[in-house]
Amino acid sequence: MDTTLQDPLVGQVLDGRYRVDARIAVGGMATVYRALDTRLDRILALKVMHPALAADGSFVERFIREAKSVARLAHPNVVQVFDQGMDRAYVYLAMEYVAGCTLRDVLRERGALQPRAALDILEPVLAALGAAHRAGFVHRDMKPENVLIGDDGRVKVADFGLVRSVDTVTSTTGAVLGTVAYLAPEQIENGTTDPRVDVYACGVVLHEMLTGAKPHDGDSPVTVLYKHLHEDVPPPSATVAGLAYELDELVTSATARAPGGRPNDAVALLAQVRRARAELTAEQLDAVPPQAFAAEHDIAEDRTSVIPRSLAIPRLLPVNDDDVPGAAAGNRTARFETSGLPPRRWSVPPGRGLLSLVVAVLVVLGGGIGVWYINSGQFTRVPPLLAKTEAQARERLRETGLDVRQVEHAYSDTVRRGTVISTEPGAGARIRNNDSVTLTVSDGPETVKVPDLADHGLADAKALLRQGGLEPGMVTRAFSDSVPKDSVIGTDPVPGTVRRAGSAITLTVSKGSPIDVPDVTGDDLDRAREHLEEAGLKVEVSAEQVNSEHDAGSVAEQTPEGDSEAAEGDTVRLTLSKGPEMIEVPDVVGTSVGDAKKQLEASGFQVSEDRGLLGLFGSTVEKQSVNAGRTAPKGSTITITIR
């Protein structure tokens, strides 16, 4: 049943912008939806905090603060945060949408991964965390569920919901934040979090990728926490025999129980991973874990199980004749034991009977060998060929007795051009000798040229970009005397530039030829409207009015201002005047000139002095042009006569 049908948010539009289309996942703190940004016409992920948590003001404040922190992590392996907001009871983050699956999905489907694949996933994860650590943040909840693997192969770290600054220490009283299977001992004991807790979690994730299982399990979370505190994470080779020593070293180093025994941060662990990879041979990197064969192995054992049973030839054990009632020389008795079967008593006639038994054993044995040949002798397994060149892959298949059926090509952001992305059947598959394998070889990242969109309408330009494998990005507008309004002037990058498929292209769209905006301040409304419409502009009158030096009913303000530039059809907003603000004039007669000016200017008036011949050397105000207690327009001039 589609549970999204029962979700009240599906179908709603948040903040008049984000249309919620489907629920993707539900977590402990928030629900993630696929949504459409109707303003930019792009798909994104919307992370909406659970309403119960949204009622906690301090939690919301932390949620927003952390969102702003993550938004500063501009890294290709970090899921980007575009926007944050609140609509009614919904507090949300708008984030990059990654079409694909999580590492958890991969592990659930495939079990253990080849070392090469595990390191290919771990390296971009560490690069993302390294950027966070060097920016001063700790993720605190690293686990396979938070590692996204896009359909294009790109790896991104998601859900920095528990992110903290490096120097933050949080108390675990009453609760432990994070996921118990990946918590470092110091997180459990005292809540201390620094980059090394992420290093520990990555070591656990690497162990899980190499073995298909978490290193610590138990009947309850408390049991798992206890093991983190008191037991070392075992080396992967203890579970998967034959794994390289360098891989054991990586896991052991990253998961040291004492923080001081681990690399200082993800950058240091990444360097260690790259050194280990350089020391591993191709065979060690491409070693197929046993889990990959688990189902086939079980079937093969069923088919050839006659071999061990036939080889468990009954062993003749002498039995004391006294133990057998009625024993006689002509009726000798013996006991045979077979592996896994209880002792049975067989009556064995001498001579011919013994010969018949030997013949029967040989027939069974021969039948077992025949079954083995039919079921296994004619088959082989597809060798691991990832990251090998086409020539190397062909040679390896030839050595195995296999042939190349055909070679297909595909784009890849992670596999080097000219090397094998995948095979059909896949590595480790059991096929007949002399059968053939299809190779898929990387053409490198898919790249396309930016088309020339000049003079195309905006809608057409966006459609052409999408048809060409690109995405329309930010739209800016500029005046142009040559390009019609609403048509594209140019792109950034310029036409002909090669870009990776899916890249966003900035469009500059014409506003048409610029128009000089008439200055209509001080004009009455009808005259102002006439001037603006004659210039090709629209008029909008504000419902509010303001005091100004202009007469009541005339234009006090306009946006955009007079003598600026606008596009044809643009709207000019007019604000009408309520007339000047009237202010009571203070009494300054008899005061000194300095005090009089201070009082009048503080009340909002301009001051003019009238000294005449008799007041050239005077210092006291004899008269003021507007009597005290009367009102005058704010900003008007009051003349004081000095004696």
Provide the annotated active-site residues.
Answer: 141
Rounded alpha-carbon distances, angstroms, from residue 345 to 105, 172, 360: 55, 68, 17
Q: Over the Cα atoms of the chain, what is R_g?
A: 41
Find out whether 254 and 262 touch, Cβ atoms under 8 Å.
Answer: yes
Cα 138 off chain centre by:
16
Strand (E) or helix (H) holding 525: helix 525-534
Q: Residues near 223 by Cβ (< 8 Å), separated by ≥ 6?
A: none
Q: Single out the residue of 56, 210, 131 nearest to residue 139, CA to CA.
A: 131
CB-CB contact of 586 with 640 (8 Å)? no
CA dist 401 and 423 (Å) reads 16
CB 177 within 8 A of CB 66: no
| 8-state DSSP, 483 | S
- Residues 512 and 567: beta-carbon distance below 8 Å: yes
Locate 113 and state its tokens. Answer: 């991964």
Contacts 24+ apart (CB under 8 A), 525-528: 525/553, 525/554, 525/555, 525/574, 525/576, 528/555, 528/558, 528/574
CA distance 287 to 244: 9
Question: Count of residues for the chain?
Answer: 643
Residue of 242, 212, 132, 221 lying closest to 177 (CA atoms): 221
Contact 37, 85 (CB under 8 A): no
Instruction: Kindly state the tokens that stand for 139.
Output: 């993720």
Q: How much helix, strand and coil, in percent to the nearest 5, is found in the chain?
A: 35, 30, 40
Nearest in space to 462 (alpha carbons), one of 447, 453, 472: 472
CA distances from 440 to 292, 381, 392, 421 (A): 20, 18, 13, 6
Question: How far is residue 609's CA from residue 597's CA, in Å, rounded to a whole number?
Answer: 9
Q: Distance between CA 65 and CA 78 in Å, rounded?
A: 17
Q: What is the DSSP string of 25-46?
A: EE-SSEEEEEEEETTTTEEEEE
Instruction: Give the Cα separation of 50 and 28 in Å (integer).
Output: 8
Cα–Cα distance between 97 and 309 in angstroms, integer? 56
Residues 6 or more apart in contact with residue 330 via CB below 8 angstroms: none
Dihedral angle over CA of 629, 632, 638, 641, nearest 10: -40
Phi, psi dihedral angles at 159 (to 5 degrees): 60, 70
